Each structure stands twice: as structure tokens, then as C-alpha cells.
Amino acid sequence: TQLLEQSPQFLSIQEGENLTVYCNSSSVFSSLQWYRQEPGEGPVLLVTVVTGGEVKKLKRLTFQFGDARKDSSLHITAAQTGDTGLYLCAGDTGTASKLTFGTGTRLQVTL
Amino acid sequence: NAGVMQNPRHLVRRRGQEARLRCSPMKGHSHVYWYRQLPEEGLKFMVYLQKENIIDESGMPKERFSAEFPKEGPSILRIQQVVRGDSAAYFCASSLNQGNQPQHFGDGTRLSIL
């Protein structure tokens, strides 16, 4: 059974601070996706990374896929209150396309 | 809005009744996935379907649960003789193809069992 562990589980910071969320596994994934989920809504796709060592930037968000494609990180620069939400990583082994979701990181950004 | 559409958004059933959850994929997407999110838990894969075919149902409970994706119309997740433990948010996702194609999610159906 593939497991994706995210850390930290909860994070409460003030606006303007930087933060990093980690997603780790002992399994290799062909691709890894990051989602953000608001209460009462479905996960919204932020980015997909497919190549080991790949770095993708989305405004203040920087995503990195580990060289061995077993881990990933999400770094947010100068967090804003609108970044508040549940961040989920999800890995795809490529064989059956089902996603294995991480345990989630709940981020709260306050003024 | 060409996103994944799920209905109903909220569904209340009594123990022993049947629940039917519907999912219309994004336009042009022929791959549908169902996930379940239990309270305070992460999303867990249930089933993966293409038109008229079940590709992977390894996450489906062996009894009472079934899924279909007919040639015409939405994908249906059916839960017979519901029990309290079935209370959860059920999410549908669709993708253009399998492999590295990203999955786009609907807003889910929140099922409550009385």
C-alpha cells in the first residue's frame, strides 16, 4: 500500500510569512499533483509535476518534485489570508491512474 | 461552466435505503474516478471507469456498492442498504486520458445517513 505522508499536519502563520509543506513516500510515482481544498468544495488542482527534480512556479507558490520521484514540497512566499485551506498532494503510479492522496496539511493564514 | 458536475450536493438517507450519486465529467473527458472522504480523513480511491467499462474497482467495498458509466449519461455510484458508516463526502474526478493526465474534481456529494 502506497502512503503519502504530509507535514506539517496543521500550520497557522501570519500574513507575509513563508512556509513549506512536505509530501513524502517510500514509493515512486510517475507524477504528483498538488490540490487545494476549501470547506464544502472539491479539491482544485494547483500543479502536476512529472520529472524528477522538476520545479514549477505558480505566482507565490513553488513546487518541487524530488529527484527520485518519491517526495515533493510546496513553498509559499509571503502568505496571504487567501492561501488558507487544505493542501493535498496526490501521487499517480501511472499503471492504473488512481491517485493516492496524502494526509493533508491544513493551513491558516491570519492578519 | 464545463467543470465536473455532481448531484445532488447533499443527500440524506435512512439506514437501509438506497443512495444514488451522479457525476457528469468535464466535456471531452472519458475517464471517471470516484473517491470517498470520511470525516477527518483523506480522500480514498474507490473506482475508475471508462465509458461502459470498469477499469479498476480495487477501492470499492465488496458489498452494497456499485458504479457504472454508461455510453450516454452520467456516471452513477450506487450504495444499497446504506449504513451509518457510509456517511461521507463522495467526490468524482475526470481526466482526458489515463496516465499522467491530471484529474479534475467536482464539488462532491455529502451523504448523511440517519
> Measured between alpha carbons, how far is B8 from B23 in angstroms, rounded to an integer?
9
Q: Which amino acid is at A35?
A: Y
pLDDT tens track for A82-95: 999 999 999 987 76
Cell readout for A31 is: 507524477
Are B63 and B85 in contact by the 8 Å Cβ rule? The answer is no
> Measured between alpha carbons, how far is A74 from A83 in angstroms, rounded to an integer?
12
Q: To the nearest whole angstrom, how far is the Cα of A80 from the nearest Cα of chain B?
A: 24
**pLDDT average, residue stretch B1-10:** 88
Chain A positions in Cβ-Cβ contact with residue B107 (cut-off 8 Å): 40-42
> Measured between alpha carbons, how far is B114 from B110 in angstroms, rounded to an integer?
13
Closest CB to B56 among A88, A96, A100: A96
Q: Which amino acid is at B51?
A: K
Q: Which residue of A has its CA nearest to B103?
A: A45
* Tally of residues, chain B: 114
pLDDT-derived band at A1 (thresholds 50, 70, 90) equals low
Q: Which residue of B has its CA nearest to A104?
A: B42
Instruction: Examine the pLDDT at B1 and tell me if it is beyond 60.
Output: no
pLDDT-derived band at A2 (thresholds 50, 70, 90) equals low
> Measured between alpha carbons, how far is B76 from A98 in angstroms, rounded to an integer?
18
Is A102 in contact with B98 (Cβ distance < 8 A)?
no
Q: To the nearest whole angstrom, how far is the Cα of B104 from the nearest Cα of chain A?
A: 7
> Measured between alpha carbons, how far is A85 from A27 in angstroms, rounded to an integer?
26
Is A101 in contact with B104 (Cβ distance < 8 A)?
no
Q: Before A8, cis peptide (omega within 30)?
A: yes
